[in-house]
Homo-oligomer: A and B are copies of this chain.
Amino acid sequence: MRTSIATVSLSGSLTEKLTAASRAGFDGVEIFENDLLASPLSPEEIRARCADLGLSIDLYQPMRDIEAVPAEEFARNLRRARHKFELMRRLGADTVLVCSSVHPLAVDDDALAADHLRQLADSAQAFGIRVAYEALAWGRHVNTYGHAWRIVEAADHPALGTCLDSFHILSRGSDPKGIADIPGEKIFFLQLADAPLLAMDVLQWSRHYRCFPGQGGFDVAGLVRNVLETGYDGPLSLEVFNDVFRQAEAGPTAVDAHRSLLVLQETVGVATPPAPVVPTGVAFAELVTPDAEPVSAVLGALGFARTARHRTKPVDLWQQGEARILVNTSGAVRRTGTGLAAIGLESPDPAGAARRAEALLAPVLPRRRAAEDAPLDAVAAPDGTELFFCATDRPELPNWRADFADGAGGAHGTDAVGGSHGTGDIGGPHRTDDNEGSHDPGVTGGPHRTGVHRIDHLALTQPWHHFDEAALFHRSVLGLHAQESVDVADPYGLMRSRAVTNADGSVRIALGVGAAPTDDTVHAQHIALATSDVVAAARRFREAGGRLLPIPANYYDDLAARHEFADGELETYRELGILYDRDAHGEFRHCYTMTVGRVFFELVQRDGYRGYGAQNAPVRLAAQHTARAVIGG
């Protein structure tokens, strides 16, 4: 189907909006009147610009307060409408949106409304223009799509039809099944928007909180199915505005917008992009840093061993169990400072995953590699994180691991703190079989000396204006499941966090966003490492010279008030800075390293627990602020 977007959905000047819509792949636009009024381009120039950009002008909008008003008012309205029809002729737009009246003088008289709309359509027809009448959810007398349709039906004019808007219909809780009663050719236009389920004044809700389909709580797909069943063959058009999009760059917003329509079309079965290939695990996390020493010291203390080095690039592989972390000191890396730059996702079909991503407008990354390197498929997430689709140790597929030569004592090597590591030494620096504090004897004695066996989750900070889009991206492009968004109080503002996961929890990514644009750099990313015994792991980390984030004593007094613990248990947590939570499924114990650059590590022991310790996040955030205030940085 053709796709369209209202210019009011995007930020910037009209030409910026049109360019962004075109680049994102939209077929057409709705021209919002105020965007035209504020543009220095004439209607003819706008028409030419749209043609150059391959955009049709599918709708001019809106006309307001036209119908069911006193006669002299209506005469003024017809005069005003003729001016606009003339403008639309210059613009090359053939359909105009008329919203149901909110005029204080409008009367509740369907026959009068139909008569006025018939006269308006008559006037429009002379200009070759069609009128699409829409019920605003807060219309004075007409505020349901059924009511608007009855008036259109009564007016019975070929140049008059109805416009359906998913927000106006679903925000009022109207049943969209009744759309089946409208002949498809009388549905002149379909506007789509989603919204979070909020109990608030519908006008404010509409003006400030609309979002793209799939980002909110409405069943937009169900409504679209109802509309398609009528035979409607006009465009699917997005009319979405909220306070965030108004400030966001038009280009990325337009891409997010178009992706939402592609996913919607897939959902309702009118488009078949390549199927999602859900990742089955985390192959690696890649840190970039201008100086490998601080990160290497932390990894060494965490029990990781530097097991291999990339054959052609200054990238070390650190490993412990199935947890693999790449440390990239290449000067070519995009970011400055130490940060989490890439994630390798185990994929049953890396090439298929990349095809899916590309079809859903994810930027495909050039394979910056040497001739002999494995050809890895990778795309960029909305926050710039590179996602590599990996097939670790599957001989029939390109294997990123084959680009690494075992052994790390070479020319590039930096010895980790606490000891040096020979080839194949993946046990880390902790050689003593110290059982102290270990609750799981299976951990000791094996090669994994802090018991870290895999990456539990990755926490990524999102650009402020693209938080909802990030969840839609990970859901639609990667086929992950998005959990509910939670608010977390930071001492200096409210953070939001939302996790996306695969079915068995082997891929978990926590998307976070700060309180305001300026907070982007305040909130660090982190890598959470799964261990079966966080107490032992924390002890050994500390013994190896690692520094854990100190947690206030008051937190433990509160834990004592809320839960009962075994003798000495709480004292151990207090000593090490281990936090505790529980949910219906089990217990959670976790602690944090100090931050290096923009990254810190978390050690987590989840015994059935399904969350991410959101309950403890305010304490952790405050402790990090305190630590920053003490040590600087």
A479 surroundings in chain B (CB, below 8 A): none
Across the interface, A626 reaches (CB within 8 A) one of B11, B13, B201, B515, namely B13
- Quick check: is A371 within 8 A (CB to CB) of the other chain? no
Contact call B494/A246, Cβ cutoff below 8 A: yes
Residue A562 interfacial (CB < 8 Å): yes
A71 within 8 A of B: no
Looking at the complex, which one of B33, B36, B517 makes contact with A517 (CB distance below 8 Å)?
Answer: B517
Residues A11 and B555 in contact, CB atoms below 8 Å apart: no
Would A554 and B619 be within 8 Å (CB), given that A12-B491, A247-B515, A493-B11 are in contact?
Answer: no
A584 at the interface (CB under 8 A from B): no
Contact among B33, B491, B619 for A11, CB-based, below 8 A:
B491
Q: Residue A631 at the B interface, CB < 8 A?
A: no
Answer whether residue A558 sits at the interface, using C-beta atoms and an 8 A cutoff: yes
Hey, which chain B residues are within 8 Å of A201, CB to CB?
A: 198-200
Q: Chain B residues near A79: list those with CB within 8 A.
A: 561
A313 within 8 A of B: no
Q: Among A12, A517, A553, A554, find the residue whose CB has the most chain B CB atoms closer than 10 A.
A: A554
Q: Is A243 part of the binding interface, using a Cβ–Cβ cutoff of 8 Å? A: yes
Residues of B close to A37: CB separation below 8 A: 552, 554-555, 558, 618-619
Q: Which of B40, B83, B243, B561 makes the CB contact (< 8 A) with A557? A: B83
Which B residues touch A629, using CB under 8 A? 13
- By the criterion CB–CB under 8 Å, are A43 and B247 in contact? no
Contact A34 B618 (CB under 8 A): yes
Shortest distance between the CB of A19 and any CB in chain B (Å) = 14
Q: Are B550's CB and A622's CB within 8 A?
A: no
Given contacts A516-B516, A554-B42, contact A622 B83 (CB under 8 A): no
A64-110 interface (Cβ within 8 A of B): 79-80, 83-84, 87
Chain B residue contacts of A626, Cβ below 8 A: 13, 40
Tell me, in angstroms, the Cα distance from A243 to B488 when the chains sit together: 12
A154 on interface, CB distance cutoff 8 Å: no
- The answer to the question of A542 belonging to the interface, with a C-beta cut-off of 8 Å to chain B, is no
Which one of B200, B204, B243, B489 lies within 8 Å of A515 (CB-CB)?
B243
Contact B80 A493 (CB under 8 A): no
Interface of chain A residues 491 through 537 with chain B (CB within 8 A): 491-494, 515-519
Cα–Cα distance between A626 and B34 once the two chains are bound (Å): 15
Check A38 against B623 for contact (C-beta < 8 Å): yes
Pick from A11, A87, A247, A555 the residue with the most CB of B within 10 Å: A247
Complex Cα distance, B79 from A562, in Å, reads: 9
Question: What separation, in Å, do the CA atoms of A517 and B514 have in the docked complex?
Answer: 13
Tell me if A485 is interfacial: C-beta within 8 Å of chain B: no
A311 contacts partner chain B, Cβ-Cβ < 8 Å: no
Is A39 close to B, CB under 8 A?
Answer: yes
> B-facing mask of A291-331, CB < 8 A → 1, else 0?
00000000000000000000000000000000000000000
**Would you call B246 and A489 a contact (CB within 8 A)?**
yes
Of B12, B43, B84, B492, the residue contacting A12 (CB under 8 A) is: B492
Question: Nearest CB to that of A518 among chain B residues?
Answer: B517
B-contacting residues, A535-590, CB 8 Å? 550, 552-555, 557-558, 560-562
Tell me if A491 and B38 are in contact (CB < 8 A). Answer: yes
Tell me which of B200, B517, B561, B623 contacts A198 (CB under 8 A): B200
The answer to whether A39 touches B562 (Cβ under 8 A) is no
Residue of B nearest to A8 (CB): B489
A83 and B561 in contact, given A491-B11, A618-B34 (Cβ under 8 angstroms): yes
The yes or no answer to A49 lying at the interface (CB within 8 A) is no
Say yes or no: B625 contacts A13, CB within 8 Å.
yes
Q: With CB as the reference atom, state the residue of chain B lying closest to A90.
A: B557
Chain B residues whose CB sits within 8 angstroms of the CB of A83 once the complex forms: 557-558, 560-561
Query: Among residues 597 to 624 in chain A, which have CB atoms less than 8 Å away from a CB atom of chain B?
Result: 618-619, 621-623
- Inter-chain contact A36/B554, CB cutoff 8 Å: yes
Mask of A39-69 contacts with B, CB within 8 angstroms, 1/0: 1111100000000000000000000000000
Note all chain B residues with C-beta closer than 8 A to A625: 13
A196-237 near B? 1/0 per residue, CB < 8 Å: 001111001000000000000000000000000000000000
- Bound-complex Cα distance A552 to B204 (A): 30
**In whole angstroms, how far apart are the Cα atoms of A561 and B558 in the complex?**
67
Q: List the B side residues contacting A38 at CB < 8 Å.
A: 491, 552, 554-555, 618-619, 621-623
Instruction: For the complex, give the distance between the alpha carbons of A247 and B33 in Å.
Output: 36
**1/0 contact trace for A477-490 toward B, CB 8 Å?**
00000000000011
Q: Which residues of B contact A555 (CB under 8 A)?
A: 37-38
- The CA-CA distance from A490 to B552 in the complex, in Å, is 45
Q: Which of B39, B552, B558, B562 has a CB less than 8 Å from the CB of A622?
A: B39
Q: State the CA gap A623–B13 with chains docked (Å).
A: 10
Tell me the A residues contacting B by CB distance below 8 Å.
Answer: 11-13, 33-34, 36-43, 79-80, 83-84, 87, 198-201, 204, 243, 246-247, 489-494, 515-519, 550, 552-555, 557-558, 560-562, 618-619, 621-623, 625-626, 629
Can you report 9 residue pairs joining A to B where beta carbons are below 8 Å apart?
A38-B618, A38-B622, A41-B552, A84-B561, A199-B204, A243-B494, A246-B490, A247-B515, A247-B516
Known: A12-B492, A40-B626. 17 other contacts (CB 8 A): A11-B491, A13-B491, A34-B489, A38-B554, A38-B621, A39-B554, A40-B552, A80-B561, A83-B557, A199-B200, A199-B204, A200-B201, A246-B489, A246-B492, A246-B493, A247-B492, A247-B515
10 smallest CB-CB distances across A and B, nearest first, come from A200-B200, A38-B622, A83-B561, A199-B201, A247-B493, A80-B561, A246-B493, A37-B554, A40-B552, A247-B515
